[in-house]
Amino acid sequence: MKTIHKLTICIISHNRGSCALRQLIAIKDRLGDCVSVLVLDNGSTYDCEGYIEIQKISQGNEKIKYHRHQNNIQVYGNLISCFELAETPYIQVMSDEDLPNVTMLHESIDVLEEFCNVAVIRGSIGKEEGKIGRNSLSYPDSFFPAGENALCNFFLRTNYISGVIYNRFLINKTDFIERLKNKSILHQAYPHMYLDCLCASKFDIMLTSTIACWEGPEDPRTIGAQVLDIGTTGFSGRLAQFLAFRDLINDIYTMDIIENKLATAICLYELLCIKYFYLLKCDSFIFRRLNISPSGLEDALLHFALASCNMEIFQGYENIVHERIYQSYYKSKLISS
């Protein structure tokens, strides 16, 4: 009798076959009856020996599948593929360098089967043993009902993609993945955050203090690398991301699926400003290397945010929105001082 798998660990990987193989070897004998693995090789051109070994392992194990894209379809393409190629009702998305907590996955299956309107479970991220955490964080145990509550407590909560669990069955009944495809260029840096926001507008969201994954050892090729990719860091990249999320707030408003639309949109815009003032601080080492004043860029972002809120949804309430923007700015300045 064929085992019915319920959750797939989707390992998204590019040019890091050794990392993906290390992760697979660590978990393949602990999957149990309900969990399977799908390794998504994003058109890798080097460090491919690990992928060859993964493919060999998959040929003798029904719980493990390997898929190679012919070309690099970027993170957003690989995320979309998780929903299209997995065959289970639930999935966990994992970067190839991190290690999933399989025990937590079995617990999450029970939760998702009991709470059928939960679309996303965000577990905490543990740090690598003996190391200072790079992306580790701990969430409070929280349940946010769909709509205003989920959106205002979850929007832009984290940039990190590893460990998030999605109710694939629920999400695939909506047009959310198609929307992500249509907006993929705009949201190429953080496609999961775009999807998370759509999910929160319609479905319940859960956070848990239980660790969903542990940070793995940092790939030596990325240690100390200062990436100036317009899609992720650099001031122009941050402004492009800001506008993409601003447009998402407008989309949520016009979808007519939440009750307090205006209050929610104002809340989300304030959260957007808070997030991007924070991200500018994270990027400050890059700007200093280029002899650019991070404080001056904060001032520039303030005026950009004020100009960018000139949307129809805020007409008549500009003073309220402007006040929220200034509050975000001054809080950011206080943290700097």
- What is the chain's pLDDT, residue by residue, as a tens digit (337 residues)? 456 799 999 999 999 999 999 999 999 999 999 999 999 999 999 999 999 999 999 998 999 999 999 999 999 999 999 999 999 999 999 999 999 999 999 999 999 999 999 999 999 999 877 777 677 899 999 999 999 999 999 999 888 899 999 999 999 999 999 999 999 888 988 999 999 999 999 999 999 999 999 998 766 555 443 444 444 568 899 999 999 999 999 999 999 888 899 999 999 999 999 999 999 988 888 888 888 888 899 999 999 999 999 999 999 999 999 999 999 999 998 876 5
Name beta bridge partners: 122: 207
Query: Tens digits of per-residue pLDDT, 23-58?
Result: 999 999 999 999 999 999 999 999 999 999 999 999
Query: Tens digits of per-residue pLDDT, 223-263?
Result: 443 444 444 568 899 999 999 999 999 999 999 888 899 99
Could you identify the residue written with the tokens 């040929």? 59
Q: How far apart are the first and last CA of the chain?
A: 65
CB 314 within 8 A of CB 321: yes
Query: Tens digits of per-residue pLDDT, 163-184?
Result: 999 999 999 999 999 999 999 8
Domain 7-214 sits in CATH 3.90.550.10: yes
Name beta bridge partners: 205: 120, 144
Cβ contacts of 173-182, under 8 Å, gap ≥ 24: 174/198, 174/202, 177/80, 177/83, 177/84, 179/251, 180/76, 180/79, 180/80, 181/80
Tell me the one-letter amino acid at 256. D
Q: How far apart are CA 20 and CA 18, in angstroms?
A: 6
Q: Where are the domains of the chain?
A: 7-214, 235-336
pLDDT score recorded for residue 223: 44
Tell me the whole-structure pTM to 2 decimals.
Answer: 0.92
